[in-house]
Structure 1
Amino acid sequence: MTPKVPSLKYSPDEITAVWQCASVLLDYPDELLLSRLDMLNEVAASLPAKIGTGLLETIEYLRRPTVSATQSEYVDTFDTRRRGCLFLTYFSNGETRKRGLALLRIKQVYARAGLNLAEEQLPDHLCVVLEFGALTDARAGLKMILDNRAGLELLRIHLREADSGWSGALESVCATLPPLKGNDHEVVARLIAEGPEEEQVGLNTYGMPDVAPMPGGV
């Protein structure tokens, strides 16, 4: 049964479809992902335009003939730019000890739902959160996203300003969410002006990772 998502504009089935498609499209573009584009296109085309069009734009972008160029662009977009970070708690906690606690709380939510991540996967990766919300617990997934909404908005703005091929997928995700509230706007403005907090001393592996993309899906 599709998990119920509370107080959102679109139906649970529509939100599940957007989140699941986006969780695939925003992951590292390996051969497996690219082999799924026709299936994802069929799902996205069945959705209302306001939440389906962005997914279709990213799908079209990923049909580029040169896979290596797409992979290189992915790394440049998400792994070498702080504003392009796909790890949600980085925006709200920066490179501080608080981020380790935020990651631990998310892992505890996953564990209660019976989901155990591989050791190399951080639990706040946007693709992991979206897949969890789509397939396991929509209410808990939505809470994770809304708790980190300002960072997600900063990522959306960054991708749009960079005219990124992945912008459409994130626009579709954000279109499923409630409008930004006053405090969210203030936090986004602060993040744009100052960036996330930094605290280099005493960080462990739960700090901001200097990692390669996550091949093989979530």
Structure 2
Amino acid sequence: MTTLNEHQLRTAHFVASVLLSYPDHALDEARPLLTEAVATLPYGEVRRRLAAFLRHLDVTLPAALAAHYVAMFDVERRCSPYLTYYAYGETRERGAALLRFKHALRAGGFELADGELPDHVAVVCELSGRGAVKQAVRLLQESRAGLELLRTALEEEGSPYTDVVAAVTATLPPASARHRETALRLVTSGPPAGEVGLEPFAGTGDDR
């Protein structure tokens, strides 16, 4: 784990939020700023991982990156960027978990765009980048098992997005025994199956 102060956490999470959103023209425009921001971080896991992904952008055509993003995050269910999916699947319990995320975002002064789900890892990282670091870190740590599963799934797929998720993980306190046990259980059993409970959250938020 790289020890970062609050300003550095905001910087790292802001960069991650941009990189974990759908790679459109805005990403191309932001790349110089992102590179400068990463260069201000102390040497360590977070900086190394984010810099590695930025180097990948330098040698990857935008269309190829967009296709890979869709293949990983929209098609490959085990690489879901929605953090409550791993623990709750498409059940009514997930609806309650999403409400907790939504309330935390509102408390941090962050209003979601229409159709956007509050548990997308890019949304939570953006919350930190906007200044609500404590709220964002709490949400990420509460979803640590899912975050670890996402990182592992991306790594097994050979995706460069592994570096970005690993950078986010490296900003958090070490995983507890409970987080590790939960992750192991979810690897074995997968997300729960049941009646969909996302009525308050129409839309998929796939434009992240």
| Same structural fold, with TM-score higher than 0.5 when normalized by the shorter chain | yes
8 Å CA contact 1:94–1:208 kept in 2: the answer is no
In structure 2, distance between residues paired with 1:72 and 1:141:
29
| Post-superposition CA distance 1:103-154 (Å, at most 9, x none) | 1122122223332212211111111111102213111111111111000000
Residues 26-65 of structure 1 correspond to what in structure 2 (within 5 A)? 26-47=20-41, 48-65=43-60
Pairing partner for 1:121 from 116, 120, 132: 116
* Unpaired stretches in structure 2, ≥5 consecutive residues: none
* Unpaired stretches in structure 1, ≥5 consecutive residues: 1-7
8 Å CA contact 2:22–2:69 kept in 1: the answer is yes
In structure 2, distance between residues paired with 1:91 and 1:97:
14
8 Å CA contact 1:95–1:207 kept in 2: the answer is no
Q: Does residue 155 of the first structure (1) align with residue 122 of the second (2)?
A: no
Pairing partner for 1:177 from 154, 172, 177: 172
What SS class does the counterpart of residue 131 from structure 1 fall into? helix
Q: In the TM superposition, what is the alpha-carbon distance from 1:83 to its structure 2 partner?
A: 1.7
Q: CA RMSD in A?
A: 2.0
Question: Kindly tell me: are residues 202 and 135 of structure 1, through their superposed partners in 2, closer, same or farther at Cα, counting changes over 3 Å?
Answer: closer
Name whichever of 30-39 and 56-65 sits farther off.
Answer: 56-65
Aligned to 1:19: 13
8 Å CA contact 1:99–1:207 kept in 2: the answer is no
Q: Which amino acid aligns with 2:162?
A: S
Q: Which amino acid aligns with 2:186?
A: L
Q: Indicate the percent of aligned positions where both proteins have the same amino acid.
A: 33
TM-score under structure 1 normalisation? 0.87
What SS class does the counterpart of residue 144 from structure 1 fall into? helix
Residues 65-84 of structure 1 correspond to what in structure 2 (within 5 A)? 65-84=60-79
Aligned residues: 206
In structure 1, distance between residues paired with 2:202 and 2:113:
18
Question: Kindly tell me: are residues 130 and 87 of structure 1, through their superposed partners in 2, closer, same or farther at Cα, counting changes over 3 Å?
Answer: same
What SS class does the counterpart of residue 9 from structure 1 fall into? coil
Aligned to 1:214: 207
Q: Does residue 136 of the first structure (1) align with residue 131 of the second (2)?
A: yes
Aligned to 1:3: none
In structure 2, distance between residues paired with 1:96 and 1:65:
38
Q: Does residue 92 of the first structure (1) align with residue 81 of the second (2)?
A: no
Question: Kindly tell me: are residues 189 and 202 of structure 1, through their superposed partners in 2, closer, same or farther at Cα, counting changes over 3 Å?
Answer: closer
Q: In the TM superposition, what is the alpha-carbon distance from 1:179 to its structure 2 partner?
A: 0.9
In structure 1, distance between residues paired with 2:169 and 2:199:
29
In structure 1, distance between residues paired with 2:97 and 2:119:
9
8 Å CA contact 2:21–2:207 kept in 1: the answer is yes
Q: Which amino acid aligns with 2:138?
A: K
Q: In the TM superposition, what is the alpha-carbon distance from 1:99 to its structure 2 partner?
A: 0.6
